[in-house]
């Protein structure tokens, strides 16, 4: 198209257009790789309203910063590289996700659907944790990335919603447009009251589409509950998966899962109790002649299809040509046989047999080489697995060694502390004997309370330590009949009361 934006982004082709603007595939010409990017051009829906361009600019920048944060910290959301405005139009420059949409690969089996649903719920847990609602989940907005086959969630609705901003007479700002896609939009969304389970509703319908390749409007529904009859369109559906989906697409938000985490947990219990997610099963239809070759569908469906080489007219022409050649060869061989006799015929037959043998040997060698390659790859994988196991064992042994070392160090600290206390007690006792004390503080090493009266109801006036000297001045009992001694404490020079069981004579 040779159109450039900001003298940097060269438009390669249009990817689509809608009510809010256009989407383009472009090259970033200012970096050596000329990386492909997606550019979204958004236009205000109420260009002639009282809403100022400055207000829309402010709202746009706010939502763009949200997109930047989401893409920066989650690999299943496109990165935002840049955003800008020009001539009352607003632009987002985003990561180009190469792959196929769920719309293109449908229908798929239950196991694939569970794997995709589980991965998307993990992404929604992150998005909802940021307080963000996508608002436009549908098959076209989920891309299975070629590089890792993970589902990537694109085209958030919030930034488009800013294009419909209007200012009311009261001065408050609201959006005059409803973001979403008919059929995948929850009832509350049409009134502008989206909640987190609004995304779960759309996700449930999206998974139904991947299973049936039918839009929600194509299903009949219960006239009283509004429940869709979609299961009759799936030949084999896991009953628990169906239960998870049906709860997600309840008409009333209060009857759905309260969060992506709750829906994930319901699905996770299914996956953990059942088989691992299945990979696409390949079906090969063998052609009746060598005029067909096996190719893969460009939409990467589970089925491998057989495609004729060229069109029917060309095949007919080729067959006619081959028939003529075969006739000429027959005539020539007849002439050779008549001329050369049986010896010449034997030579030709032998040459054909040798050619067939060489072809068979080449095929055998090819198969043997392929088998050796597979065995070598298996050996490498086994060696890598063994190395990982050895490394895990080494790490675990090191962890246990460090834990044992820490325990030994702890025990040594405790032993040293006990030894210090024992030495201190002996020192206190020696000091008490030297001072002529009539008794010492007893009990296990440590501090003991000396109170203002006989009993624990009295306040603590000081503390003594095991082995320190005491003089007994008097005795009494507390309300429970326990004996207390009035003592003079040499360590603090205080007079107070101490329980009799803490005194050694």
Return the HEC string of 225-278.
CCCECCHHHCCCCCHHHHHHHHHHCCCCHHHCCCCHHHHHHHHHHHHHHCCCCC
Counting every residue written for the chain, the total comes to 505
pLDDT in tens, 355-381: 556 767 877 888 899 899 999 999 999
**pTM for the full model?**
0.53
Predicted confidence at residue 477, as pLDDT, reads 95
Quickly tell me which residue has 């624990």 as its tokens.
456
Range of weakest confidence among 92-106, 110-124, 182-196, 307-321: 307-321
Reduce the secondary structure of 27-79 to three states and give it as a string: EECCCCCCCEEEEEEECCCCCCCCCCHHHHHHHHHHHHHHHHHHHHHCCCCCC
Residue 282 has pLDDT above 50, yes or no: no
Per residue in 314-329, pLDDT (tens digit) is: 343 344 444 445 555 5
Mean pLDDT of the chain: 81
> Are 177 and 239 found together in one domain?
yes
Is there a single domain that holds both residue 332 and residue 419? yes
pLDDT score for 428: 78
pLDDT at 493: 92
Closest by CA position to 67, among listed 160, 178, 202: 160
Q: Which pLDDT tens digit goes with each residue over 454-496?
A: 999 999 999 999 989 999 999 999 999 999 999 999 989 999 9
Which of the 8 DSSP states describes residue 91? E
Does 299 reside within a domain?
no
311 or 202, higher pLDDT: 202
CATH code for the domain of 19: 1.10.510.10
pLDDT > 60? residue 145: yes
In 3D, which of 142, 171, 165 has the Cα closest to residue 154?
142
Which residue range is the domain that position 90 belongs to?
4-273
Helix (H) or strand (E) holding 4: strand 4-5
CA 355, CA 349: separation in Å to the nearest integer? 10
Determine contact, residues 143/97, Cβ cutoff 8 Å: yes
Compute φ and ψ for 405, nearest 5 degrees.
-65, -40
Please check whether residues 325 and 242 belong to one and the same domain: no
Q: Which of 419, 435, 451 is the last residue of a domain?
A: 435
Average pLDDT, integer, range 203-212: 97
pLDDT over threshold 60, residue 446? yes
For residues 200 and 124, the answer to whether their CB atoms sit within 8 Å is yes
Span 138-147, mean pLDDT?
A: 95
Indicate which residues carry an active-site annotation: 136
pLDDT over 70 at 386, yes or no: yes
Same domain, 146 and 217: yes
Please name which of 55, 52, 258, 20 lies closest in space to residue 159, comparing C-alpha atoms.
20
Most trustworthy range by pLDDT among 302-306, 346-350, 436-440: 436-440
- Domain count for the chain: 3
Q: Is the pLDDT of residue 231 over 80?
A: yes
Helical (H) or strand (E) element with 333 = helix 312-435
The distance from CA 471 to its chain's CA centroid, rounded to whole angstroms, is 74
Residues 223 and 333 in one domain: no
Residues 185 and 202: their CA atoms lie apart, in Å, by 6
User: Residue 304 pLDDT more than 50?
Assistant: no
- CATH code of the domain in which 452 resides: 2.30.30.40
Residue 287 lies in a domain: no
Res. 257: pLDDT tops 80? yes
- CA 388 to chain centroid: 24
pLDDT score for 252: 94
Average pLDDT over residues 135-141: 95
One domain for residues 56 and 197: yes
């Amino acid at each position: 198209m040779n159109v450039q934006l900001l003298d940097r982004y060269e438009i390669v082709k249009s990817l689509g257009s809608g009510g809010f603007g256009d989407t383009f595939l472009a090259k970033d010409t200012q970096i050596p790789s000329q990386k492909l990017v997606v550019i979204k051009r958004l236009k205000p829906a109420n260009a002639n309203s009282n809403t100022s361009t400055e207000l829309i600019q402010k709202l746009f920048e706010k939502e763009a910063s949200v997109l930047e944060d989401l893409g920066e910290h989650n690999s299943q959301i496109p990165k935002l590289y840049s955003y800008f405005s020009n001539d009352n139009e607003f632009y987002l420059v985003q990561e180009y996700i190469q792959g196929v949409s769920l719309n293109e690969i449908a229908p798929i089996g239950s196991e694939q659907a569970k794997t995709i649903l589980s991965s998307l719920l993990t992404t929604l847990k992150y998005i909802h944790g940021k307080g963000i609602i996508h608002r436009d989940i549908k098959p076209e907005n989920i891309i299975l990335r070629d590089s890792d086959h993970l589902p990537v969630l694109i085209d958030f609705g919030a930034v488009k919603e800013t294009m419909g901003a209007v200012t009311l007479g009261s001065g408050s700002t609201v959006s005059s447009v409803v973001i979403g896609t008919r059929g995948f939009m929850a009832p509350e969304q049409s009134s502008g009251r989206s909640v987190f389970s609004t995304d779960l509703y759309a996700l449930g319908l999206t998974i139904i589409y991947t299973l049936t390749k039918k839009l929600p409007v194509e299903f009949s529904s219960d006239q009283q509950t509004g429940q869709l009859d979609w299961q009759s369109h799936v030949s084999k559906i896991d009953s628990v998966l169906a239960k998870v989906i049906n709860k997600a697409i309840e008409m009333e938000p209060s009857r759905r899962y309260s969060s992506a985490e709750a829906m994930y947990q319901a699905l996770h219990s299914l996956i953990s109790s059942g088989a691992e997610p299945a990979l696409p099963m390949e079906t090969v239809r063998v052609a009746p002649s060598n005029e067909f070759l096996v190719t893969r569908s460009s939409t990467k469906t589970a089925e491998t299809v057989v495609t004729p080489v060229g069109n029917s007219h060309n095949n007919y022409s080729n067959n006619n040509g081959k028939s003529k050649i075969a006739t000429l060869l027959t005539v020539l061989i007849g002439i050779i046989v008549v001329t050369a006799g049986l010896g010449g015929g034997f030579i030709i037959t032998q040459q054909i047999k040798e050619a067939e043998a060489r072809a068979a040997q080449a095929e055998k060698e090819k198969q043997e080489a392929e088998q050796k390659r597979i065995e070598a790859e298996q050996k490498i994988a086994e060696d890598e697995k063994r190395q990982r196991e050895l490394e895990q064992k080494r790490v675990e042994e090191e962890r246990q060694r460090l834990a044992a070392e820490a325990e030994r160090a702890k025990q040594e600290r405790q032993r040293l502390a006990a030894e210090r206390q024992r030495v201190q007690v002996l020192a206190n006792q020696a000091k008490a004997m030297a001072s002529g004390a009539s008794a010492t503080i007893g009990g296990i090493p440590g501090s003991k309370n000396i109170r203002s009266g006989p009993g624990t109801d009295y306040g603590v006036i000081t503390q003594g330590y095991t082995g320190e000297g005491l003089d007994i001045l008097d005795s009494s009992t507390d309300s429970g009949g326990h004996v207390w001694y009035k003592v003079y404490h040499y360590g603090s020079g205080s007079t107070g009361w101490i329980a009799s069981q803490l005194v050694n004579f």
